[in-house]
């Protein structure tokens, strides 16, 4: 239902954009592109076009606002976390492992041949 209403909202927004652009303003608008001053006859000519386009704008604008309000209410009722900050902290991390060989490891009895001693204490 949400996806259908969202699609209707997008189509209504495109329709409303086209209707608004077709209305003639002070400069003539896109309604005057097809014929200039001779556009008084036809489907978008004269006072009829203003009434039809104005009514279409009001209707599509009302539909757009109602759909936006309904979709806003529908999306706010979805189960979402209250805040990103209020997420529970992960459990304690394990102790970091040393990446330098020989540090943090206790030498075993058979491994003393590979260790080096401190050169400052070798003469005492």
* Sequence-ordered list of residues with C-beta below 8 angstroms from that of 12, at least 6 positions apart, any chain: 60, 63, 64, 67
Question: Within a domain: residue 53?
Answer: yes
Question: Within a domain: residue 15?
Answer: yes
Find the length of the chain.
124
**Residue range 58-65: average pLDDT?**
94
Based on the structure, what is the number of domains in the chain? 1
Question: Within a domain: residue 87?
Answer: no
Q: Looking at residue 101, what is its pLDDT? A: 72
Question: Within a domain: residue 33?
Answer: no
**Residue range 98-107: average pLDDT?**
66
Q: Looking at residue 4, what is its pLDDT? A: 93
- Phi, psi (5° rounding) for residue 64? -60, -45
Q: With a threshold of 0.85, does the pTM exceed it?
A: no
Looking at per-residue pLDDT, the higher value among 57 and 37 belongs to: 57
Structural domain span for residue 57: 2-24+42-76
Question: Within a domain: residue 30?
Answer: no
């Amino acid at each position: 239902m949400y996806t259908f209403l969202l699609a209707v909202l997008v189509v209504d927004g495109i329709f409303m954009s086209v209707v608004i652009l077709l209305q003639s303003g002070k400069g003539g608008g896109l309604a005057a592109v097809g014929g200039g001053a001779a556009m008084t006859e036809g489907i978008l000519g004269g006072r009829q076009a203003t009434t039809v386009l104005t009514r279409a704008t009001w209707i599509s604008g009302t539909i757009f606002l109602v759909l936006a309000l309904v979709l806003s209410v529908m999306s706010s009722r979805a189960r979402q976390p209250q805040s990103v900050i209020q997420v529970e902290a992960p459990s304690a991390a394990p102790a970091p492992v040393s990446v330098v060989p020989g540090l943090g490891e206790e030498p075993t009895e058979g491994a003393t041949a590979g260790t080096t001693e401190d050169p400052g204490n070798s003469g005492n």
